[in-house]
């Protein structure tokens, strides 16, 4: 019964880090019920049937998984998925705001900024706000994990020794800086309730974030498997990173923190 389990809702979970996190959480424990968020039910079901059809070196899927539709750039979709979760499960124990984009097609700066912020910032802010009553109904201590990026770190942006300093990505960096501030505000706002909240840096991973060509570029550039980020996210959810989560900074996949 999902009602006894830890309900984990992951947005953008039909691909990349989100999907790997679904797999890693399900392998970690039968006590998880994972809500695999996808922009369309079809995409979500396709991803779910794919992970169910292969054998996983790290062990079988144990935690149960359901697909839910959520487009974080669409307010109606955010409200609809919240109603669905409320009527089906009554609460959320863990929210992983993972959905994110990098706009790679050529477009003017304002278009790029608006699209990037709609998905990376406005969506997770609204979703967290709308889900707050369901997080309050958690029978455990809720976690809110905002999948951010060290690319949003202001300290690293101006660090002459930072290895990715030559990567421009101004609009994406700005959006993740906003995600970091959102996480800081949520840490402050929910401190009295004892909720565990962090911004999380998944590192440079092989995913679909920059399209098919970008995926190849990532492989050539030695990016890490998305599973590394997923394993670290599981540790956060399991409380193994609570020491870092309690501190001020971006929780890093390799342990410790990156600066805001
Ligand atoms: N990969 C890296 O190196 C890296 C580094 C730092 C941070 N991150 C962050 O990690 C997170 C996951 O990205 P990823 O690397 O795993 O990329 P990915 O493979 O492209 O996965 C992104 C997921 O977000 C979904 N998504 C995009 N827009 C959405 C929307 N409006 N509503 C709901 N879902 C939406 C995508 O759905 P569709 O399949 O429908 O497009 C996909 O499922 C992002 O927040 C990203 O910024 C990644």
- Distance from the CA of 257 to the center of ligand 1, in angstroms? 22
| CA nearest ligand 1 atom 20, residue | 209
- Distance from the CA of 18 to the center of ligand 1, in angstroms? 7
Q: How many residues does the chain have?
A: 260
Q: Where are the domains of the chain?
A: 2-203+229-254
Q: Which of 16, 126, 218 to mutate to test the pocket of ligand 1 (most atoms within 8 A of CB)?
A: 16
Atom number in ligand 1 closest to CA 74: 31
Atom number in ligand 1 closest to CA 73: 31
- List residues bridging with 68 in a β-sheet: 37
Does 153 sit in the ligand 1 pocket, CB within 6 Å? no
CB neighbours of residue 78 within 10 Å: 23
Does 29 sit in the ligand 1 pocket, CB within 6 Å? no
CA angle 146, 149, 153 (to 5 degrees): 110
Check residue 221 and give its pLDDT: 96
**First CA to last CA across the chain, in angstroms?**
40
Q: What does the block give as tokens for 1?
A: 């019964």
Series of mean pLDDT values for 10-residue runs along the chain (260 residues): 89 98 98 98 98 94 98 98 98 98 97 98 98 97 98 98 96 98 98 98 98 97 98 98 98 98
Q: What does the block give as tokens for 190?
A: 């929910």
Does 101 sit in the ligand 1 pocket, CB within 6 Å? yes
Contact 146, 198 (CB under 8 A): yes
What percent of the residues of the chain are helix, what percent strand, and what percent coil, each to the nearest 5? 50, 15, 35
Check residue 3 and give its pLDDT: 76
Choosing among 2.40.30.10, 1.20.120.1770, 3.20.20.70, 3.40.50.720, the CATH entry for 2-203+229-254 is 3.40.50.720
Q: What does the block give as tokens for 240?
A: 């193994």
């Amino acid at each position: 019964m999902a009602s006894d389990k830890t309900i984990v809702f992951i947005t953008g979970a039909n691909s990349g880090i989100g999907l790997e996190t679904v797999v890693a959480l399900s392998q970690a424990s039968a006590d998880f019920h994972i809500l695999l968020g996808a922009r369309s039910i079809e995409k979500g079901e396709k991803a779910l049937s794919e992970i169910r059809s292969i054998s996983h070196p790290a062990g079988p899927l144990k935690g149960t998984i359901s697909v839910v539709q959520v487009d974080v750039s669409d307010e109606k979709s955010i409200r609809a998925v919240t109603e669905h979760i409320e009527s089906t499960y009554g609460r959320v124990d863990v929210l992983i705001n993972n959905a994110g984009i990098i706009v790679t097609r050529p477009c003017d700066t304002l278009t790029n900024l608006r699209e990037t912020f709609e998905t990376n910032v406005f969506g997770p802010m609204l979703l967290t706000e709308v889900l707050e009553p369901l997080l309050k109904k958690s029978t455990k201590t809720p976690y809110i994990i905002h999948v951010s990026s060290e690319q949003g770190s202001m300290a690293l942006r101006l660090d002459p020794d930072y290895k990715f300093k030559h990567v421009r990505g101004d609009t994406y960096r700005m959006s993740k800086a906003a995600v970091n501030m959102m996480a800081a505000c949520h840490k402050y706002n929910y401190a009295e309730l004892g909720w565990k909240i962090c911004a999380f840096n998944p590192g440079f991973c092989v995913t679909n974030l920059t399209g098919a060509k970008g995926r190849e570029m990532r492989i050539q550039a030695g990016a890490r498997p998305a599973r590394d980020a997923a394993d670290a996210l599981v540790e956060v959810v399991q409380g193994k990173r609570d020491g870092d989560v309690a501190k001020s900074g971006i929780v890093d996949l390799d342990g410790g923190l990156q600066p805001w």
